Structure 1
Amino acid sequence: MGAYDGVVLFDAPDDETMTAFALKVSSLGNVKTQTLRAFRKEEMEGILAKIK
């Protein structure tokens, strides 16, 4: 009904592994992917501290 039919969360050891997985799944032709970077609490605190 909206832009997405489903949401799946994955945790990969690094960005390269996740990208390889997304490219492989997308190559099958019936799945489109969009990746978003998640930040740990400590990382987000550091980011927010920069905008104060």
Structure 2
Amino acid sequence: MATFVTLINFTDQGIRNIKDSPKRFESFKSLVEAQGGTVKSVYYTQGNYDMVVIVEGDEEAAMTANLTVGSLGNVRTQTLRGFSVDEMKSFISNMPISL
């Protein structure tokens, strides 16, 4: 399964309804699981982003979950494909010796 790191910012609507954020996250988690994915970690953060969520699943599940959540208007997301150290080792081992 692929790993996706989603950086989240609350919209004006999302921050007005901040008390509902944990409940909204539980709904998101259920949606990911219904798509066959797994929420590995979630953090509320200080700084440039308000939350970071790490999900494992296929690309379709990740896109469906992010589009669904985004359409509700409480957050804006930026999603990155994450790679484990073992995946990176595999990429490096497949590199040509020289170009």
Structure 1 length normalisation: TM-score? Answer: 0.73
Structure 1 gap segments, 5+ residues each: none
Q: Which has the higher strand share?
A: 2
Q: Secondary structure at the match of 1:36?
A: strand
Report sequence identity in percent: 43
Structure 2 gap segments, 5+ residues each: 1-45
Please show how residues 13-24 of structure 1 align to structure 2 within 5 Å.
14-24=58-68
Query: 27, 43, 47: which one pairs with 2:71?
Result: 27
Q: Name the Cα RMSD after superposition.
A: 2.0
| One-letter code aligned to 2:91 | I
CA-CA distance at 1:51 after TM superposition: 7.7
Q: Which has the higher contact order (CA 8 A, sep 6+)?
A: 2
> Which stretches of structure 1, 4 residues or longer, exceed 2 Å deviation after superposition?
46-52
Aligned length: 51
Larger radius of gyration: 2
Structure 2 length normalisation: TM-score? Answer: 0.44
